[in-house]
Structure 1
Amino acid sequence: MITSIIFDLDGTLVNSIKDLASACNHALRILNYPEKNIEEYCQFVGNGVIELFKRCLPADCKTPENIERMKVEFRKYYGDHLLDETLPYNGIKELLNVFVQENEKKRANGASENELFKLAIATNKPDKFAHIIVNNFFPNVFDVIYGAREGFERKPSPEIINIILKDFNRDKDTAVMIGDSNVDIYTALNAGIRSIGCSWGFRGESELKDAGAEYIAHSSNEIYDFIKQMK
């Protein structure tokens, strides 16, 4: 039975692309480099901020010094503006509430801890920013939140999944990874867990199919249905 539900954040639970783009373009302006558009940023995000900076800098300007300057300027600006235009996708709060309500019913019926849903965030967004966004929109919903941290490998490494399952004291056959990009699907494959792709995110359905997503949801309410179908 699938009871360990692991979500990506950006492009899966929240549409944050405008705030990410604004912060990156602010940093590019400070460094006197051309800005990028939203469509480009949809392809740039997903592998962490360092890869994001490398992708938006001009080809001959991807030096360690420029990447560090981008990092400093991005973090200062994004820290003050990460909730300007970021919002949950339609139906996400309702979906998460279904898991909360299901747990309440299970507890009322005397279910054991292992029978309850455990909810996690596994994102390549810097950990501090991930916590701010999740706690703002989804307070007291997630059991653990893992953003990018020093000393931890980024997705698609399976390390973050293994840590979450250790926290939950659950086996891999209880887990599913839900995300909007090939990074999330590859993470699930590398970790040996199930996967659901979200077609409404930054990358689209074809990338998810090519990556090997087991299921592809076109609306948030399909996610719960897919999880119930998994054996």
Structure 2
Amino acid sequence: MSPAMHDFPFAIVGFDLDGTLVDSVGDIAAALNHALAVAGRDPLDVEAVRPMIGLGTAHLLEQGLTATGGIPDDSGHLYRELIAYYETHVAERTRLFPGAVEALDRLAALGVKTAVVTNKLERLARDLLDALGIAGRMAAIVGGDTLGPGKAKPSPAPVRAMIAACGGGRTAFVGDSIHDVMAARGAGATSVAVDFGQLHHPVGDLGADHVIGDYAELVPLLARL
């Protein structure tokens, strides 16, 4: 049975985007491979790209170039190529993880504000969430560039900004990486790790307060805390 609205212990539940709310590795890999093709490099398969995701587009490109022969002296045009390609293919292969919409529905019914904090550029995050039909559900969308240089996860600053934008209150943050756990911890939020994301490390090694294997587990877990 769902807890009564006034009994639910969290006012805000924030989510990482790539690897947490959405499986986006196909579109990200395609954009990276486009930039690599411009550089005359061979493409990388999806599983090679997966662990490169999570610290923003510049890091993704650096990792892709390093894996295919090294970073050239001038890679600025490759960054622009990657962004331009991704902007026009932002949701061709990307899908919400099973149960994500239902979890958002349950949280909304409980009066909980939901939000996204991602290291993806804010405009790309908004474009993706809009294409998937859930941008309007988010009380805040904080991207890797929203607060300026050095203010992306694992800094707690974007999670703090999310909390402030949502009006404050007890907060949980759901993610799939050590960067999400560190950002949540630094912002005083309860961290929840999903075991189906990009997972640069085994989920048990992330140090999260809690782990879920399916979105059906999220609201019952938070209700007990």
Query: Do Structure 1 and Structure 2 share a fold, with TM-score over 0.5?
Result: yes
Q: Residue 180 of structure 1 aligns with which residue?
A: 176
Moved more, 139-148 or 55-64: 55-64
Determine whether 1:124 maps to 2:124. Answer: no
Note the C-alpha offset of 1:148.
1.9
Note the C-alpha offset of 1:168.
2.4
List structure 1 segments (4+ residues) > 6 angstroms apart after TM superposition: none
Match of 1:133 among 128, 151, 155: 128
Q: Within 1, Cα distance between the matches of 2:124 and 2:188?
A: 28
Q: Residue 165 of structure 1 aligns with which residue?
A: 163
The CA deviation string for residues 34-73 of structure 1, in whole angstroms up to 9 with x for no partner, is 321111211000011111111111366324622x122111
Match of 1:211 among 188, 195, 206: 206
The CA deviation string for residues 116-154 of structure 1, in whole angstroms up to 9 with x for no partner, is x11110000111110011122214211111112261511
Identity of matched residues, %: 26
Q: Within 2, Cα distance between the matches of 1:149 and 1:10?
A: 16
Q: TM-score normalized by structure 1? A: 0.86
Q: Within 2, Cα distance between the matches of 1:131 and 1:139?
A: 7
5+ residue gaps, structure 1, are 104-116
Residues 21-170 of structure 1: matches in 2 within 5 Å?
21-58=29-66, 61-63=70-72, 65-66=74-75, 68-103=76-111, 117-137=112-132, 138-149=134-145, 151-152=148-149, 153-170=151-168
Match of 1:225 among 213, 216, 220: 220
Q: Within 2, Cα distance between the matches of 1:6 and 1:64?
A: 38
What SS does the corresponding residue of 1:148 show, helix, strand or coil?
coil
Partner AA of 2:117 in structure 1: A
Retained in 2: the 8 A contact 1:33–1:58? no
Aligned CA RMSD, in angstroms, stands at 1.7
Q: Within 2, Cα distance between the matches of 1:58 and 1:149?
A: 23
What SS does the corresponding residue of 1:129 show, helix, strand or coil?
helix
Retained in 2: the 8 A contact 1:177–1:196? yes
More helix by share: 1
Q: TM-score normalized by structure 2? A: 0.89
